Structure 1
């Protein structure tokens, strides 16, 4: 499994996040990113195709790790247990020293419509990869999309909880999986409370 390693790639990523937040995504150039990281523009393009990919480059690593875990799941593992295995498999990509980067990236993505759109496209691509992996394990196509969508949701929730919490990524993933399990088992079957009465309107 590919494991994140500190070095030029991470320095470029962190520099880009800082600049996107300081002066905006549109106003930040590749040259500025390279200079902030103490590297050259040529080095930047050795790792990234453009400045958008600084934010989303690790998505391929996520897909590789998750699909490999699904393929390796023991026979008899339920679809939902397989979802947890897939999310836990990305723990090596997110050691504790990456918390600040993940928080900064989230803020940067939220600051630019272009990045939000790209994020949605990348998320869908990841969901499609997980769907294919689940289908290859024998899950019917009609169920595979649901399993994959919930798996990616569990991943997103785990990342958000881990980036702002104290537990390691594996512990965060297991907690988020349990919470989704509880919701699926109980929360969606609970009756809605009575509708609140309309507020009084004072003339």
Structure 2
């Protein structure tokens, strides 16, 4: 099953110089094959533009994502991370295909997961929903490193990034709103059973 692959391809990374003109629309969708109770570590996918280490706006997004992942018990590691994190910022309006699904938190709480052994009659099926995301979109995708498939996708539209420090504020706020859709703590974290990673970066 090649799921959500269109979210990782196409489109340049563009920044808007205008101010925020409307409240962001924040939504998410997920893969029924995601092993969400298994994931504990992550690493960023490197790239150019906002994904690069030299971009201040890119680092603002990375730092905001690091903060949320840490709060939820995830640990950064370069050694076989469970999740790869990718993010993109698109300028202007964007036609987008999401999915109509049950509440993500309920899906994870029930421990539901589909794999190649799941009978066809027991599969959930994906109901595509076409949307028009307006005035700039920040897209965050979590990828299962073992299968190289996207398992969760969060996006905020109405994200127009002004120049200077205010742009970093807008992006950090957008990341927080996106991760409010990802209500997953690592297994055992709330009980204090989450050992540190051996190669965790210093920041």
TM-score (norm 1): 0.25
Greater Rg by CA: 1
Q: Which has the higher contact order (CA 8 A, sep 6+)?
A: 2
